[in-house]
Amino acid sequence: MTDAASDHLPHTDSPHTVSGPIGHNEPRARARRTVAGKGRYVDDIVLPRMLHVAFLRSPHAHAAILSIDAAEAREAPGIVAVVTGKDMATQCTPYAGSHQLFKRLKAPDQYPLAVDRVLWQGEPVVAVVATSRALAEDAAELVDVDYDILPAVTSFERGTPPAVQLHDDIPDNIALVEQLGTATVGEDFPGADQVFEAQFRFGRITGTTLEPRGIIADYEPREGALTVHCSHQCPHQQQDIFARHLGLPEHKVRVLCPDVGGAFGLKQQLYGDEFAVCALSIMLGRPVKFIADRLESMVSDNHARDHAATARIAVKSDGTIVGMEVDDIFGIGPYSQYPRSSVGEGNHVLRITGAPYRLDDYRARLTMVYQNKSMIGHYRSVGHPVACAITEGLVDLAADGLGLDPADIRRRNFVRSSDCPRVSPGGIDMPDMSLETCFDAVVAAMDLPALRAEQAEMRKKGVYRGIGIAAFVELTASGPEYYGPGGNRITSQEGCHLKLEPSGVVRCWISVTDQGQGTDTGIGQVVASHLGVAMADVRVFSGDSETTPYGGGAWASRGIAIGGEAALRAATALKANILELAAVVLQADAGTLDIVGGRVVDRDTGTERMPLSDVARIGYFRQDTLPPGVQPELSVVRHYVTPRGRKFMATNGVHAAHVEVDTQTGIVRCLGHWVAHDAGVVVNPSLVEEQIRGGVVQGIGSALFEELRYDDDGQMLSGSLADYLVPMASEMPEITVLHVEGTGVEEELGAKGVGEAGVAGSPAAIMNAVNDAIAGAGLGQRIHTLPLSPERILGALGKVPGEL
Give the footprint of other proteins on residues 29-88 (CB under 8 A): 30-41, 43-44, 46
Laid out side by side, the sheet with 361-369 consists of: 174-181, 361-369, 321-331, 303-315, 194-206, 785-786
CB of 485 to other proteins, least distance (A): 34
Cβ partners under 8 Å of residue 792, min gap 6: 666, 783, 785, 802, 804
**Nearer Cβ to other proteins, position 211 or 274?**
211
**293 lies in the site for other proteins, by CB under 8 A:** yes
Please select the residue that binds other proteins; options are 49, 316, 489, 709, rule is CB under 8 A.
709
Cα–Cα distance, 96 to 88 (Å, whole number): 17
Residue 66 or residue 800: which is nearer to other proteins going by CB?
A: 800
Exactly one of 154, 417, 455, 515 binds other proteins (CB under 8 A); that residue is: 515
Give me the amino acid identity at 641.
V
Q: Is 691 in the site for other proteins (CB under 8 A)?
A: yes
Which residues does 580 contact at the CB level (< 8 Å), separation at least 6? 590
* DSSP bridge partners of 396: none
Options 20, 207, 480, 551; binder of other proteins; rule CB under 8 A: 207
Stretch that binds other proteins, among 448-456, 542-550, 598-606, 788-796 (CB under 8 A): 788-796
Side-chain-side CA neighbours of 588 within 13 Å: the count stands at: 19
Give the count of alpha carbons within 13 A of 143, CB side only.
Answer: 28
Selected binder of other proteins within 71, 164, 444, 721 (CB under 8 A):
721
Residue 564's CB is within 10 A of a number of other CB atoms, namely 32
Identified binder of other proteins from the candidate list 66, 71, 453, 800, rule CB under 8 A: 800
Residue 531 CB-density burial (10 A; 0-12 exposed, 13-18 middle, 19+ buried): buried
Residue 693 touches other proteins, criterion: CB under 8 A: yes
- Of 747-766, binders to other proteins (CB under 8 A) are 758
Q: Does 713 bind other proteins (CB under 8 A)?
A: no
Residues 619 and 577 sit within 8 Å (Cβ to Cβ) = no
Asked whether the beta carbons of 525 and 506 are under 8 A apart, the reply is no
Q: Which stretch binds other proteins (CB under 8 A): 56-64, 90-98, 165-173, 262-270?
A: 262-270
Nearer Cβ to other proteins (420/667): 667
List CB contacts of 679: < 8 A, sequence separation 6 or more.
651, 688, 739, 741, 751, 752, 753, 754, 757
Interface residue with other proteins, options 58, 98, 110, 209 (CB under 8 A): 209
Closest to other proteins by CB, 636 vs 703, is 703
672 binds other proteins (CB under 8 A): no
Q: CB of 1: closest distance to other proteins in angstroms? A: 6
Binding mask 296-335 for other proteins (x = CB under 8 A): ----------------------------------------
Region label for 330, one of left (φ > 0), alpha (ψ between -120 and 50) or beta (otherwise): beta
What is the Cα 232 distance to its own chain's centre? Answer: 12
- Can you tell me the distance from the alpha carbon of 565 to that of 574, in angstroms, rounded to the nearest whole number? 14
Binding characters for other proteins, 114-153, by CB under 8 A (x = yes)? -------------------xx--xx--x------------
Q: Tell me the CA distances in angstroms from 187 to 157, 184, 253, 322, 362, one per residue in order.
A: 21, 6, 53, 14, 11
Distance CA 161, CA 174 (A): 11
720 binds other proteins (CB under 8 A): yes
Q: Is 163 in the site for other proteins (CB under 8 A)?
A: no
Minimum CB separation of residue 676 from other proteins in Å reads: 15
The footprint of other proteins on this chain (CB under 8 A) covers a number of residues equal to: 92
Does residue 340 touch other proteins according to CB under 8 A?
A: no
Q: Which sign, positive or negative, has the C-alpha torsion 524, 529, 535, 538? A: negative
**In the complex, minimum distance from the CB of residue 583 to other proteins, in angstroms, rounded to a whole number:** 40
Member of 694, 744, 753, 780 binding other proteins (CB under 8 A)? 694
